[in-house]
Amino acid sequence: MNYNTLFSEIASEVETTVSPGKIADYIPELCKVNPNKFGVHLTNLNQEHFEFGDANEKFSIQSISKVLALVLAYKMEGENLWNRVGVEPSETPFNSFVQLENNNGIPRNPLINSGALVISDVLISHLKNPKKEFLAFVKSLSNNKSINYSARIAESEKSTSFRNAALINLMKSFGNIKNDVNEVMDFYFYLCSIEMTCKELSETFLFLANYGVNIFTNERVLSTSKAKRVNAIMQLCGFYDEAGDFSFKVGLPGKSGVGGGIVAIYPNNYSIVVWSPELNEKGNSKKGLKFLELFTTETETSIF
Amino acid sequence: MNYNTLFSEIASEVETTVSPGKIADYIPELCKVNPNKFGVHLTNLNQEHFEFGDANEKFSIQSISKVLALVLAYKMEGENLWNRVGVEPSETPFNSFVQLENNNGIPRNPLINSGALVISDVLISHLKNPKKEFLAFVKSLSNNKSINYSARIAESEKSTSFRNAALINLMKSFGNIKNDVNEVMDFYFYLCSIEMTCKELSETFLFLANYGVNIFTNERVLSTSKAKRVNAIMQLCGFYDEAGDFSFKVGLPGKSGVGGGIVAIYPNNYSIVVWSPELNEKGNSKKGLKFLELFTTETETSIF
Amino acid sequence: MNYNTLFSEIASEVETTVSPGKIADYIPELCKVNPNKFGVHLTNLNQEHFEFGDANEKFSIQSISKVLALVLAYKMEGENLWNRVGVEPSETPFNSFVQLENNNGIPRNPLINSGALVISDVLISHLKNPKKEFLAFVKSLSNNKSINYSARIAESEKSTSFRNAALINLMKSFGNIKNDVNEVMDFYFYLCSIEMTCKELSETFLFLANYGVNIFTNERVLSTSKAKRVNAIMQLCGFYDEAGDFSFKVGLPGKSGVGGGIVAIYPNNYSIVVWSPELNEKGNSKKGLKFLELFTTETETSIF
Amino acid sequence: MNYNTLFSEIASEVETTVSPGKIADYIPELCKVNPNKFGVHLTNLNQEHFEFGDANEKFSIQSISKVLALVLAYKMEGENLWNRVGVEPSETPFNSFVQLENNNGIPRNPLINSGALVISDVLISHLKNPKKEFLAFVKSLSNNKSINYSARIAESEKSTSFRNAALINLMKSFGNIKNDVNEVMDFYFYLCSIEMTCKELSETFLFLANYGVNIFTNERVLSTSKAKRVNAIMQLCGFYDEAGDFSFKVGLPGKSGVGGGIVAIYPNNYSIVVWSPELNEKGNSKKGLKFLELFTTETETSIF
């Protein structure tokens, strides 16, 4: 099936029905993006590609990186990882501090900020040159050597990082951060600063639709069971305080970032990425959410 | 494929590896159950049946009823239902009161107690004779006229209902309960007192594996889209504070009850019910969870 | 010293400087009060009386009654009372449910709603005819037989009591309410419905300025130590979320009610009552607070 | 009245009735103190001195310093200070993060850690050489040039400061910290490291019993009104989660520190300091609390 026409039709409908959102404004550098950008790219297991709009323009993938960091940490640490971080959905960012206090500094899951900071800490413990080795891992997943961090974005995040500093220090007080807090935060901001196009990002995540095997290299990234578990975590925890709504309306595991990107996985089928920088009040791309809702409804693709 | 042998093997493994749990002791009548009971029943879309152990003994389905109440309320009220209750997972029962206060008395989802009380309130507003009509609905789903409430269990729950009374009164103070609080609580306790066997329960839930169509009568219970959405809600909210763990290990939408039952749905395939009364500290059947984890791992059935 | 002139001057200043507040509107009957009423009455240990304005008009003392109920319960139960309720200030009404959950249903102090419900429960356990005997106690304190409940107000409160019903049921679930919840709530609403004039109320509370001895009858109501402790509780817990502000600006132990009354005690000196029905957003009389701040500043009377 | 004999008698009673507590162990250097130390010193407005035990041995005053920092900040900033920090008691340290989130980073009062960090920030904004000038202020209050910081204690606290780092970064994220977080924390740890004897500390606080005037130099430190307000804040907020209990049993404004010191003020009379390093679970000196309870009961000195 060729989705290019359908993409164009849904994009039109989204364009006319979705009211404007707000670009992430807490990171100075992210404000500079053109809010009208819109791109979508789908890669399936036959390595067919479908796309629309600004699908080949780089954007900041932000929190979507947390999934990639999780995959590498899970690969290295195995099931011991779950002694350091949970797999349960969280209610609101607002609850984070309470939850960490109630639970001895163990974050509820690896896709909220506190959890991703723990994952970063785990990676630092395992890697000799964390930034370099993590980037090499992402390049291998995407089979694309051009992927890189944006030092500009990473440094811009550091300037407004007090809330993350509060979270990591609280976890450190419970002993759940092993390395220096500034080193962990620096690595974390670099992770979040990776830039990709919709096409590159959908290729990078394709192994999660392929039960853990990188289709481009035939290398196994994760065991089948672990790949499914990563999908399960995305399903329950991938959209901040809207995980339920996304499951309800889109019906696929996925992850969003405040750069306006969303990736979703249809297991055994495809990986799709939408990008539109205007966010709703929960921090998820407004047009991206609507596009995926209409697309999965129209094509009747859902895991449920 | 014939699962009877596999059931027997997994049951043996569960029996030898799972340490004892605790029977629900806050409801006097539930304490009387033999803790060693164990049953499992799977019904697939070919109407084949597989089972093991005490699969034909009645037990109290308790909170599993909340899904059936949700289905009937959703059918009658449509998408307006979501003005009264959310679709997001909740952290802990402990958070319930805070969450209700923060959100004007709107519960996070229909499968926690506060949410199920709102659903009960919605049904009372729609039905002339709520207990009778709800029971008729359940009988039609299961194609089985012998299903009934246990007045004994319902009355037993009333005697220890102070916490539910606290929740419903708090919601009433926000205007999110329309009927008399005692009438709603009475109906709610009857809902939870329904008794079924593993076989009956798996038949009752089969329409959710069949995209909303009752396979016994060919009647459509819910639209495809609504049936998937109910599955999505079970996936994110079906296991109290263990929804993530269940998704992670079992990988299917499901719902548990403190009577020791668990139902799980493999869309387009089957509905399975396990029953073992001993619970873990989160209130979910210990052996039931382990059985389903081993079964879906062995058969590689998971939505992810 | 004759305060009548000073009262008149301060009342003028308050009248011109304090912006309008809001009459308590959650109790239908309380809304009927004329918002412009203003009265003040001071009784000192020489039994001199000073007053201004509507000091001889009855108003609903509401939560001020909680102090009288505490006194009677403390008298009967002694220091054992503190096994059922604490003596620590509370942050916000909003925190009540969380706090009860964290502390096994033990309220933080006897002057918040949950605490006063426990005090009511204690009194019911001790008294054969609670309403009659409590009223007799209040009459004896004030040396005034004309004091009475307002059944009209009590019944009006019942119609909007869902939040209190939530609190009491939550405490009942922890076993910290011994009697029937409806009986306790009924008694509690009668307590709060007592009506007095400023003069009557200042006379009623005078024993707390007199180290526990009723100056009219020479009877000891509480030991010196217990009377001081009741003052200490008022100081820390008497003004909902404004106890600090009241201590800071007025510097005396006191208690407010949503009827617009405030009583304050200057130990070894006087008891003063101000009444003005318009409340600030914390539920305390706006003009009453300002009047007392100016009066204690002008007269340099403060316990600090 | 000569208190030396009474001190000795009460000290004996305390010694035999109070069970052992625990020395503060989160600061490595504090652990080195001899747990059996016990001292008390009272200075009255006639400049008479009474004491018992180790009253002339230096100890770490810790959080008692927060009052002195508050006094200097209040003196410099005036009532504007209350835009940055509240005057309301707090429930539990556990609530701190929630409370800061609910209230835009404004701490409930200046005597909890978050509040004292804001006060430190205010002082840094006003002072050219904060450490030097604050110490000079304390020396002037006590009329004693030998008072000093313990760099050893201050540095020891830094090594375990992650929780304070979490609080200050959270406040910084709301804009309620104006200076560099590390600079503020460094200053804060020095404040808390001041060492004094019981005698020196009771002399330092005597101006708060003297309506704001330093009795040794006749200089006014604070206006009468401001001095009373500082006492009011100590009354409501001076003992972490035991402020109510202290008011209830001791009946004086006061402040404790985890070094085992407690200061209490009897306005227009005296300032008393007790020191005993063994703490209860709330972090207050066990013997110190009991000593003051017995002393104020015996002498019938209480503000209530």
User: What percent of chain B is modeled with pLDDT above 70?
Assistant: 100
Q: CB-CB: which of A90, A99, A267 is closest to B304? A: A267
- Other Cβ atoms less than 10 A from the Cβ of A19: the count is 7
**Chain D residues touching A163 at Cβ < 8 A:** 169-170, 173
Contact criterion met (CB below 8 Å) for A291 and A274: yes
Chain D hits for A97, Cβ within 8 Å:
97-98, 101, 166, 170
Helical H runs in B193-273? Answer: 198-204, 224-237, 243-249
pLDDT of residue B157: 87
Q: pTM for the whole thing? A: 0.94
Q: Rounded to an integer, what distance in angstroms lies between the CA atom of residue B256 and that of residue B236?
A: 13
Contact B210, B202 (CB under 8 A): no
- Using the Cβ of B167 and the Cβ atoms of chain C, whether some distance falls under 8 Å is answered with yes
Q: Is the pLDDT reported for residue C188 higher than 90?
A: yes
When pLDDT is cut at 50, 70 and 90, the band that residue A257 belongs to is: very high
Q: Which residues of A161-199 are buried (b: 16+ CB within 10 A; e: fewer)?
A: bbbbbbbbbbbbbeebbebebeebbbbbbbbbbbbbbbb
Distance from C-alpha of D114 to C-alpha of D105, rounded to nearest angstrom: 9
On chain C, the residues whose CB falls within 8 A of the CB of D241 are 88
Does this complex have an ipTM over 0.85? yes
The dihedrals phi and psi of B242, each to the nearest 5 degrees, come to -125, 20
pLDDT at B241: 85
Q: How many helices (H) and strands (E) does chain A have?
A: 12, 7
- Please name the residue ranges forming H helices in B127-197: 130-142, 151-158, 162-173, 181-192
Give the burial string for D21-30 (b: 16+ CB within 10 Å, else e): bebbeebebb
Residue A26 scores a pLDDT above 80 = no
Mean pLDDT, chain B, whole residue set: 95
Rg (CA), chain D: 18
Chain C residues 89-148 within an 8 A CB cutoff of chain B: 94, 97-98, 101
Size of interface B-C (CB pairs under 8 A): 47
- pLDDT above 70: percentage of residues in chain A: 100
pLDDT at A94: 67
pLDDT band at B2 (very low <50, low <70, confident <90, very high): confident
Spell out which residues of chain D touch residue A162, defining contact as CB-CB under 8 Å.
169-170, 172-173, 181
**The pLDDT value given to residue C94:** 67
As separate numbers, helices (DSSP H) first and strands (DSSP E) second, chain C gives 12, 7
Please give the biggest Cα pair distance in chain D.
Answer: 54
Confidence of residue C143 (pLDDT cuts 50, 70, 90): very high
Question: Most A CBs within 10 Å: which of D92, D169, D172, D179, as the mutation test of the A interface?
Answer: D169
Percent of chain D's residues with pLDDT above 90? 89
> Distance from C167 to chain B by nearest Cα, in Å?
6
Confidence bin at B252 (pLDDT 50/70/90): very high
Whether the predicted pLDDT of A17 surpasses 70: yes
Chain B: residue nearest C94 by CA? Answer: B101
For chain A, what is the mean pLDDT? 95
At residue A164, does pLDDT exceed 80?
Answer: yes
Q: Is some CB atom of chain D closer than 8 A to the CB atom of C87?
A: yes
D247 with C236: Cβ contact below 8 A? yes
The answer to whether residues A185 and A171 touch, using CB atoms and an 8 Å cutoff, is no
Domains of chain C: 4-299 (3.40.710.10)
**Partners of C272 in beta bridges:** C42, C264
Mean pLDDT rounded to a whole number for chain C: 95
How many Å apart are CA B279 and CA B259, to the nearest integer?
9
Question: Does residue B83 belong to the interface with chain A, where contact is any CB pair within 8 Å?
Answer: no
Work out the angle at residue C126's Cα, subtended by the Cα atoms of residues C122 and C132, and round it to the nearest 5 degrees: 100
- The parts of chain D modelled with pLDDT lower than 70 are 94
Is residue C96 very low, low, confident or very high in pLDDT (cuts 50, 70, 90)?
confident
**Distance from D175 to chain A by nearest Cα, in Å?**
10
Crossing angle (nearest 10°) for helices D181-192 and D162-173: 130
Q: Output the pLDDT for position D18.
A: 94
Per-residue pLDDT tens digits for C257-281: 999 999 999 999 999 999 999 999 9
Residues 6+ apart with CB under 8 A from D60: D30, D150, D153, D192, D193, D194, D195, D257, D259, D261
Residue B258 phi, psi dihedral angles, 5° rounding: -75, -5
Q: Which of B91, B97, B104, B177 to mutate to test the interface with C (most CBs of C within 10 A)?
A: B97
User: According to the model, what pLDDT value does residue A231 have?
Assistant: 98
